[in-house]
Amino acid sequence: MQLAHTMLRVRDLEKSLNFYVNFLGLREVRRKVLGDEATLVFLTDASGHYHLELTHNHDGRDYKLGSQFGHIALTTDDLDSFIRKVIAKDWWYRESKPSSTSRYIFVHDPDGYDIEILQSQSGETFAVEHANITVKSIERAVKFFECAFPTWRVRDQGESKRKWLHFGGDTDYVAIEEALIDQPLDRGEYLRPDINHIGFTVSDLAAVKSRLLGAGYREGMHVEPEEGWLRAYFFDEDGFEWEFIEYLLK
């Protein structure tokens, strides 16, 4: 089970979009017009996992803020900068007390809904964007990744001193270069400084294993299921080891 969206009814769609998109930085991902009845606009953040649905009824009806509704919260890496923007617009806001364990402010959207803006805990975010490997054959490497990740695609490719290709999704990928020297891969067997393997998270480990085994790829060490996660290791045709992890949500 995953959260999908929260719906807010708004009086003026353009004013609301100006607040949520232009000021808060959300982006519109879908719009649906229900004839003469209403317009639905779906907004999301950089992750794209959760949506805010703005519903504008075309009949001009008014609304009262319900006393049971609380607020919608967003995080920012720079709360101080956000506060300066609010002050520059001369908007009302309420800031957290110094004794609070987290820093935040509340502002109102154009319809009066409470919007909480929280300072993210680290102030910085980090993620692995890509891994770069040199292989004997780009075609063989792409064949392996196509088998493991059917939705991945060639993002970019070219040739300077050697052929290269980026293969992956929208936010992460594997950079693959073709070797100029033909020599066997001498793996350290986890005994000397080396890259042992690279791991990927997957939502259905059984499906990944079935595709790789069906295509004839060799499975690596067997790992018993552990509380909270499942793991499997496979070797590609060049001898690189790849780990696939499925986290089990409770």
Query: DSSP assignment of 37-89, as one string?
Result: TEEEEEEE-SS-S-EEEEEEETT-------SS---EEEEES-HHHHHHHHHHT
User: What pLDDT band is residue 203 in, cutting at 50, 70 and 90?
Assistant: confident
- pLDDT digits over 10-53, tens only? 999 999 999 999 999 999 999 999 999 999 999 999 888 889 99
216: pLDDT strictly greater than 50? yes
Tokens of residue 218, six digits: 């060799």
Gap between the Cα atoms of 96 and 90, Å rounded: 18
Q: Percentage of the chain with pLDDT > 90?
A: 52
Whole-number Å distance between alpha carbons of 153 and 139? 13
Give the pLDDT confidence score for residue 188 in this predicted structure. Answer: 53
Task: Confirm if 52 and 72 have CB atoms less than 8 A apart.
Answer: yes
Three-state SS at 242: strand
pTM: 0.51
Closest CA to 243 of 194, 189, 202: 202
Average pLDDT over residues 124-129: 66
Confidence band (pLDDT; 50, 70, 90) for 226?
confident
HSE, CB side, 13 Å, CA atoms: give it for residue 226: 9
**What backbone torsions phi and psi does residue 83 show, to the nearest 5 degrees?**
-60, -40
Active site residue 95: no
**Residue 170 confidence (pLDDT):** 80
Give the type of residue at 242.
Answer: W
Q: Which of 53, 116, 177, 243 is catalytic?
A: 116
Residue 128 has pLDDT above 80, yes or no: no
Q: Which domains does the chain have, with CATH numbers?
A: 5-119 (3.10.180.10), 130-247 (3.10.180.10)
